[in-house]
Structure 1
Amino acid sequence: MEIKQQSLPYENEREMVHTKWNYYMLLAVVFGGFLVFGLSENVKGPAITIMQSDFQLSQSQLGILLALNSLGYLLACTFTSALSNRIGVKWTTILAFACMALSGFFIYLSASYGSLSAAYFFLYVSNGILEIGLGIMAAQIFTRNTGMMMNLSHFFYGLSSTVAPSIAASVMGWQVRGGELGWRGMYLLVLLLSIIPILPALAGRVPKESADAGDSTSYRSLLRDPVAWLIVAVLSFGVVSEIAVGSWLVNFLVKAYGWSIGDASHMLSLFFLFFMLARLFLGPVTDRIGFTVSIMIFSAFSGICSMAAILIGEAGAILFAVAGVGIALIYPTVMALLAKRYPKGTGTAITFTVTLMGVASVIGNLLIGFIIDFVNGLFGKGGEVIGLQAGYGFIAFLAILCSLCCFILYTLLRRRGELV
């Protein structure tokens, strides 16, 4: 018995060290994954204008290209959960990282609008698998201080999103063999970084997810729940507005105000800086004043800032960046709202909401491109700036719609006595 008692602390200590080491490996996967994810999603801002010029694309074709991003994400929503259950979340994330690296080669080799669209679609399927995989992994390892750790994870996404446009603009200008690296080479180098998180992913061991026997939320019940549909509307309008800024802001500043791609990229980086800092410092505010009130206030703030920037003109361009403060909090706050509203079926509620949000994202990106082209057609050659203003005005309008839908949601929940 004495030997057993003496060896027990040693065994516990060894197990504790191993558990900590494994936790740090998984932490590196989640934080590194969000860093790579932010880069891969937001280097497109400076690249899109040059892509459009290289392939002589109309605004509608550009909208279709960006809509394919959302369509790829939507497709990933339909099978990633099942894939994770089949091969495990560890191998799901490794697969996502590997596919992202492979998509870099596809983009580099794209020689036409069709091949570029296919490569972009493959990239965003990979991004969708990664985001959902990281979400599942984070839920399994962040058993303590879950809210703080989730916010910290999204901080890393915001951090890489902040530097992504400036990095992209700089890397595209690198001289290689007497010529510029360009957007193809930039995408290849950036996406090859996704290989790095594979190393800790291979070394780590993800704990098995415990079954939730009390899961009472079903897709059927969500389909009949008006609150669920209002949450879908809130998230859809908010996220489409958020994603559209990364896709269209550089294009708007370059073509409407004649800015250089470098200067426009710095403004997009500033947007993501405000975005990142808001997620880091304003998270506690949402707990204090309530989730629905927070979304209502911050989304309205974002929409008003963007609309004011358009009306003021070039002198008010800084307000495009300030709008990031409001739009940043919508996605994580809606996720928190779902967790509180559906505590016994959070996974089902998130899958339902995010999938429908993906449908809205496809439609939203298409509409922005078509609105720009339609207004251009109405005003002729002199209407390009007006068309761009109309397209970006639609982005601002979506943020305001998000706030209005949240007001309806707030009213409904308050009437039922279910406000969170």
Structure 2
Amino acid sequence: MRIWGIFGVEQHLKKHKRIYAMQLATIFLGFIIFGISENIKGPAIPRIQFDFMLNEAQLGTLLSLNALGYLLACSFTAFLTRIWGIKIVSITAFGAMLLSGVCIYFSHSYPLFASSYFLMYIGNGMLEIALAILGARIFVKNTGMMMNLSHGFYGLSSTVAPLMATGLMSVTVFGHTLDWRGMYLIMLSLSILPIILAWRSSFPGDDLSQEERVPFKQLMRDPVLWFMVLILSFGVVSELAVGGWLVNFLEKAYQWDTVAASGLLSAFFLCFALARIVLGPVTDKIGFNLSLIIFSAFSAICTFLAIWGGEKFAFLFAAAGIGIAMIYPTVMAFIAKRYPNESDTAITFTVTLMGIGCVIGNYMIGGIIELVKQLYGADTQIGLIRGLQAGYGFIGLCAAICAVFSFILYVRLKQRKELI
């Protein structure tokens, strides 16, 4: 009987390890696809802008509307998770991105393209919430390190995504150049891989009873959660804006070619990915609150110096990725630790309001560029350069504001001995 008992324990452990491995594979591959879908737009945007004859303000509006789709998805994903479970929600998110790739390929009118792009961001929003909830449920030990490691896969795919996108857009298949439409189709079709993994996986936490949760209204009265909203909003605006505006900035302000500009964007994401992989344990060691101050301030300083120093300091745009990379996963780790039974609600609330910030942020960048261009001369090179510098300066300002709110929260929690 004892032998059979030991055998049963071993089988149980093997099964548990296999399930955990599938969960990790789903999270890691999910972030890879997420990074690809988010960051192939850098090299594609100038061509999309040319094909549909959009100015910078219209481009900013397009990105803001897509962020609105992301926001919409964030607002209902936690509700769907409680009804369907993480598994079905994850598969649905990947399916939406796969479908959007097909629609983008056939979008030869601006309304169809805008709708297809909007659908992709719906999938992205659903996926981000699903992966964050799953990470909060699984990573109960070394939370900061594991959150940063999993998000590091986002950074790794983001590193190669612009270069892959640039290469694919020039590929000819059966005498037809893929261009940006074919590139989106191929890259988003990779979503089929995590769909298969998610289908074969099982996920924890869906059976948590309502009695074990803190009521939503009570959770909203916690001022710390609102600080997380502010920190995450400004941090993510600064992070995501790089993918949408850096290539555009380098090509138009410094006359870099697409390959060189995409290369620097890839360097940004390489710094971004390595920071999350290497510096994750640092957040556990020095604490999540102090980490937010240090890393967001570092990103702001690098961005401002890059703009001030001109083309010869352009490498600092890439170095800024080291700091801004740590904000999102560190906030998720903080939420997982502070709200262990309400992580899905807290994450949804925080990320949804963050989405509002992204909508406003993208719109403001485009608007600032156009406003400053008008002040210096809309049709002059100096007007274009000053406009782009002002718009990118706003990206650095967001990182600086993130550092300020992180410091205020640090002081508040230290006084109450609630630092994490």
Q: Give the TM-score of the pair, scaled to structure 2.
A: 0.93
Shift of 1:350: 2.2
Partner AA of 1:34 in structure 2: F
Rounded to whole Å, the distance in 2 between the matches of 1:97 and 1:133 is 11
SS at match of 2:117: helix
Return the match for 2:93 from 96, 100, 115.
96
Instruction: Tell me the residue number matched to 1:29.
Output: 26
Rounded to whole Å, the distance in 2 between the matches of 1:346 and 1:135 is 9
Rounded to whole Å, the distance in 2 between the matches of 1:345 and 1:360 is 23
Instruction: Tell me the residue number matched to 2:243.
Output: 246
Moved over 6 A (4+): none
Unaligned runs of 5+ in 2: none
Shift of 1:215: 5.1
Tell me, yes or no, if structure 1 residue 409 matches structure 2 residue 398. no
Rounded to whole Å, the distance in 2 between the matches of 1:208 and 1:233 is 28
Tell me, yes or no, if structure 1 residue 56 matches structure 2 residue 53. yes
Shift of 1:186: 0.3
Return the match for 2:162 from 139, 162, 165.
165
Rounded to whole Å, the distance in 2 between the matches of 1:341 and 1:232 is 14
Once the two structures are overlaid, the 10-residue window that deviates more, 5-14 or 181-190, is: 5-14
1:299-378 to 2 correspondence within 5 Å?
299-343=296-340, 345-378=342-375
Unaligned runs of 5+ in 1: none
Rounded to whole Å, the distance in 2 between the matches of 1:412 and 1:238 is 20
Return the match for 1:200 from 197, 201, 214.
197
Rounded to whole Å, the distance in 1 between the matches of 2:145 and 2:407 is 27
Shift of 1:344: 5.2
Instruction: Tell me the residue number matched to 2:275.
Output: 278
Shift of 1:69: 2.5
Structure-2 change in CA distance of 1:210 and 1:87 (3 Å): closer
Tell me, yes or no, if structure 1 residue 154 matches structure 2 residue 151. yes
Structure-2 change in CA distance of 1:109 and 1:168 (3 Å): same
Shift of 1:216: 6.2
Rounded to whole Å, the distance in 2 between the matches of 1:5 and 1:232 is 53
Instruction: Tell me the residue number matched to 1:393.
Output: 393
Q: Is the 8 A contact 2:129 2:348 kept in 1?
A: no
Shift of 1:207: 3.5
Tell me, yes or no, if structure 1 residue 189 matches structure 2 residue 186. yes
Q: Is the 8 A contact 1:376 1:386 kept in 2?
A: yes
Structure-2 change in CA distance of 1:182 and 1:63 (3 Å): same
Shift of 1:225: 3.8
* Cα distance per residue 1:252-289 (max 9 Å; x no partner): 00111111111111100000111111111122222333
Structure-2 change in CA distance of 1:36 and 1:5 (3 Å): same
Rounded to whole Å, the distance in 1 between the matches of 2:285 and 2:6 is 43
Q: Is the 8 A contact 1:64 1:365 kept in 2?
A: yes
Rounded to whole Å, the distance in 2 between the matches of 1:40 and 1:297 is 29
SS at match of 1:75: helix
Query: What is the count of residue pairs matched by the alignment?
Result: 417
Rounded to whole Å, the distance in 1 between the matches of 2:154 and 2:142 is 19
Structure-2 change in CA distance of 1:406 and 1:18 (3 Å): closer
* Cα distance per residue 1:56-103 (max 9 Å; x no partner): 101111111111232112111121112122222111111111111110
Instruction: Tell me the residue number matched to 1:292.
Output: 289
Structure-2 change in CA distance of 1:405 and 1:10 (3 Å): closer
Once the two structures are overlaid, the 10-residue window that deviates more, 323-332 or 16-25, is: 16-25
Partner AA of 2:313 in structure 1: G
Shift of 1:296: 1.5
* Cα distance per residue 1:130-179 (max 9 Å; x no partner): 12122233334445544433222111111101111111111111122334
Q: Is the 8 A contact 1:214 1:344 kept in 2?
A: no
* Cα distance per residue 1:159-205 (max 9 Å; x no partner): 10111111111111112233421000000000000001222222222
Structure-2 change in CA distance of 1:333 and 1:183 (3 Å): same
Question: RMSD over aligned Cα, in angstroms?
Answer: 2.0
Identity %: 55
Once the two structures are overlaid, the 10-residue window that deviates more, 292-301 or 7-16, is: 7-16
Instruction: Tell me the residue number matched to 2:81.
Output: 84
Shift of 1:405: 1.7
Partner AA of 1:261 in structure 2: T
Shift of 1:223: 4.0
Structure-2 change in CA distance of 1:7 and 1:341 (3 Å): closer
Partner AA of 1:132 in structure 2: I
SS at match of 1:197: helix
Rounded to whole Å, the distance in 2 between the matches of 1:138 and 1:415 is 29
SS at match of 2:190: helix
Rounded to whole Å, the distance in 2 between the matches of 1:196 and 1:279 is 24
Rounded to whole Å, the distance in 2 between the matches of 1:400 and 1:143 is 31
Q: Is the 8 A contact 1:234 1:402 kept in 2?
A: yes
Once the two structures are overlaid, the 10-residue window that deviates more, 211-220 or 404-413, is: 211-220
Partner AA of 2:69 in structure 1: G
